[in-house]
Structure 1
Amino acid sequence: MPGQTFVMGDAQSDGVRPDGEQPLHPVRLNGFAIDTTTVTVADFRAFTEATGYRTEAEQFGWSAVFHLAVSDPSQVVGRLGGTPWWLGVTGADWAHPDGPSSAALDDHPVVHVSWNDAQAYCTWAGRRLPTEAEWECAARAGQESQRYPWGDELPREWACNIWQGDFPVDNTAEDGWLTTAPARSYAPNNYGLYQPVGNVWEWCADWFSPVYYSQSPVEDPRGPSLGTARVIRGGSYLCHDSYCNRYRNAARSSNTPDSSTGNTGFRTAAR
């Protein structure tokens, strides 16, 4: 990514206030490198085979799976509070994304990885997680203030992997995918990044704060110094206007560093 100054934040006022997507503010970044795709299952398998690493989902013995994707209902151990479409499934992990009888596909993004797991991968790979500002800069790809990587409107043909139908009970899967799509699906943005929005949420390095944008420095912001949750960006295959319109360049959310779900992965960066 070339060094540049860009305007960060929600220019269309699409976001909800608790997400803290405003105020708009200038950010200046030096050049940096970022993966063209999210880390794939094959990439992550190479890491685990080289190091013997066990993810937090494997250590806990369960992870969160979307209810329509569960491969074996007998392995469900409970529902997540406030989001009943997420089920705790014993044996769900990066290699078994829908439960113990499922198998991850090598060219799909790795999921069921926590922020801590992503950090461990980065250390092994000699990389790091992108900052939130770097992530948005890369997603925008020089297109100032636009809603999506390709422009302000969803095209008639699918441009990213998001929900189609009646959330959360009926996904028509018109784009061909109930859950994740291969990491190199759809057209890349102007910087060559595949699916910075949709498909899977992506961990960033920063702690999350809904008021950080009002305090952010112009030069290479790194997020708050403390927090309880880490930033996730880009939305996922579950995003839909009726539920979660966070498949946008400016959209932001968060989760605790030890959390893992079937719709969260990551891509890496470097200077």
Structure 2
Amino acid sequence: MGYIKNKTWLVFVALFCLHKATAQQHTRFVTVPKGVYEVGIKDDARNPLRKVKVDTFYIAACETTNRQFAAFVAATGYITDAEKRHNALVFEPPLDEFRWKSDSTAYWRYPNGKSRGGITNHMDHPVTCISYHDVQAYCTWAGVRLPTLEEWEIACRAGTRTNYFFGNNPQQIKPYANIWYGHDHKKADYTDGYMTTSPVGHFKPNPWGLYDTYGNVFEFCSGKVSPNQRSSLVHARGGSWWCSGNSCHAFNSYMIGQVNDRASFSNQGFRVAKSIGNGQ
């Protein structure tokens, strides 16, 4: 009996250490040094090729998880836009391309609607069904901020100038990203092991140690692509689990998506950043 107890204890300790190491990875920041970086792509109206100067900043290695967002809600009692507006958009095949379903029961705890289960076993997946407005509230509480459009691209590119940090061939993306490999969205696709989100940090990182910059979930960024842009329009980058070569194709270093600041989608999340000195 003593041997069995000791063995059980060793298993418990091993699991605890694994959980602690995983949690530390999920909260790790990567330092991006100050400098002049080239961003954008030639002849792109929304993200033209240009050079930008940035100060040193820190960016999270992983997307913000359900566990991290749950800590924020537990501490503040925050209620998200999806809970108040009952207008989150979810995806459930078979649906026509680019058609999403409004589910009044969906919010961050039930990102695909209550009938399809919650996040109990997905605490290390990226939080979704949150709006830009919700993300701002989280950042204020956590003492962080969103990366700017330019900072996100600099960190994603990791010193490269190709369409992807691994080159220009999109067929080489599989080790790095959770995306949609099906020809269309009329039936579920589990080619990479997941139909929707995957645990953050599950796929290989870019050369600077950032995970999931492509696929998994779109990541909110701060900033505008035009000074005349509507104030309610915000941007996100990196593509998501829904994006495929035939639809969306936003899982690259240069595309910039846009969405209403109160909209909540089951493929929309975020990662955070910090500046030197004041933290934000």
With normalisation by structure 2, the TM-score equals 0.80
Question: Which whole-Å CA distance do the structure 2 matches of 1:191 and 1:127 have between them?
Answer: 20
- Cα distance, 1:178 vs. partner? 0.3
Q: 1:61 aligns with which of 86, 90, 101?
A: 86
Distance 1:254 1:84, change over 3 A: closer
What residue in structure 2 maps to residue 8 of structure 1? 39
What residue in structure 1 maps to residue 127 of structure 2? 110
User: Structure 2: 5+ residue runs without aligned partners?
Assistant: 1-31, 276-280
What residue in structure 1 maps to residue 177 of structure 2? 160
Question: Which whole-Å CA distance do the structure 2 matches of 1:156 and 1:116 have between them?
Answer: 31
What residue in structure 2 maps to residue 97 of structure 1? 111
Q: 2:67 aligns with which of 32, 36, 42?
A: 42
The range that moved more, 152-161 or 229-238, is 152-161
Amino acid at match of 2:243: C
1:4·1:28 contact (CA, 8 Å) conserved in 2?
Answer: yes
- Cα distance, 1:161 vs. partner? 0.8
2:89·2:100 contact (CA, 8 Å) conserved in 1?
Answer: yes
- Cα distance, 1:149 vs. partner? 2.4
Distance 1:89 1:245, change over 3 A: same
- Cα distance, 1:184 vs. partner? 0.9
3-state SS in 1 of match to 2:141: helix
Distance 1:270 1:166, change over 3 A: same
Number of residues of Structure 1 aligned to a counterpart in Structure 2: 240
What residue in structure 2 maps to residue 119 of structure 1? 136
3-state SS in 2 of match to 1:33: strand
- Cα distance, 1:84 vs. partner? 5.5
Distance 1:171 1:148, change over 3 A: farther
Question: Which whole-Å CA distance do the structure 1 matches of 2:34 and 2:166 have between them?
Answer: 21
Query: Quick check: 1:21 aligned with 2:37?
Result: no
2:61·2:209 contact (CA, 8 Å) conserved in 1?
Answer: yes
- Cα distance, 1:146 vs. partner? 1.3
What residue in structure 2 maps to residue 183 of structure 1? 200
Distance 1:157 1:39, change over 3 A: closer
3-state SS in 2 of match to 1:232: strand
Distance 1:265 1:157, change over 3 A: closer
What residue in structure 2 maps to residue 204 of structure 1? 221
1:203·1:266 contact (CA, 8 Å) conserved in 2?
Answer: yes
Amino acid at match of 1:21: N
2:126·2:199 contact (CA, 8 Å) conserved in 1?
Answer: yes
Question: Which whole-Å CA distance do the structure 1 matches of 2:251 and 2:76 have between them?
Answer: 34
Q: Between Structure 1 and Structure 2, which shows a larger proportion of helix residues?
A: 2
2:176·2:205 contact (CA, 8 Å) conserved in 1?
Answer: no
CA radius of gyration, larger in: 2
- Cα distance, 1:165 vs. partner? 1.2
3-state SS in 1 of match to 2:258: strand
3-state SS in 2 of match to 1:254: strand
3-state SS in 2 of match to 1:117: helix
What's the Cα RMSD here?
Answer: 2.1
Question: Which whole-Å CA distance do the structure 2 matches of 1:91 and 1:148 have between them?
Answer: 37
What residue in structure 1 maps to residue 262 of structure 2? 258
Q: 1:146 aligns with which of 162, 181, 184?
A: 162
With normalisation by structure 1, the TM-score equals 0.83
Question: Which whole-Å CA distance do the structure 1 matches of 2:98 and 2:166 have between them?
Answer: 33
Q: 1:239-258 maps to which residues of 2 (within 5 A)?
A: 239-258=243-262
Residue deviations 1:169-191, cap 9 Å, x none? Answer: 13432100100011111111111
2:218·2:267 contact (CA, 8 Å) conserved in 1?
Answer: yes
What residue in structure 2 maps to residue 217 of structure 1? none
Question: Which whole-Å CA distance do the structure 2 matches of 1:159 and 1:141 have between them?
Answer: 14
- Cα distance, 1:32 vs. partner? 0.1
What residue in structure 2 maps to residue 128 of structure 1? 145
Question: Which whole-Å CA distance do the structure 1 matches of 2:230 and 2:136 have between them?
Answer: 17
- Cα distance, 1:225 vs. partner? 8.0
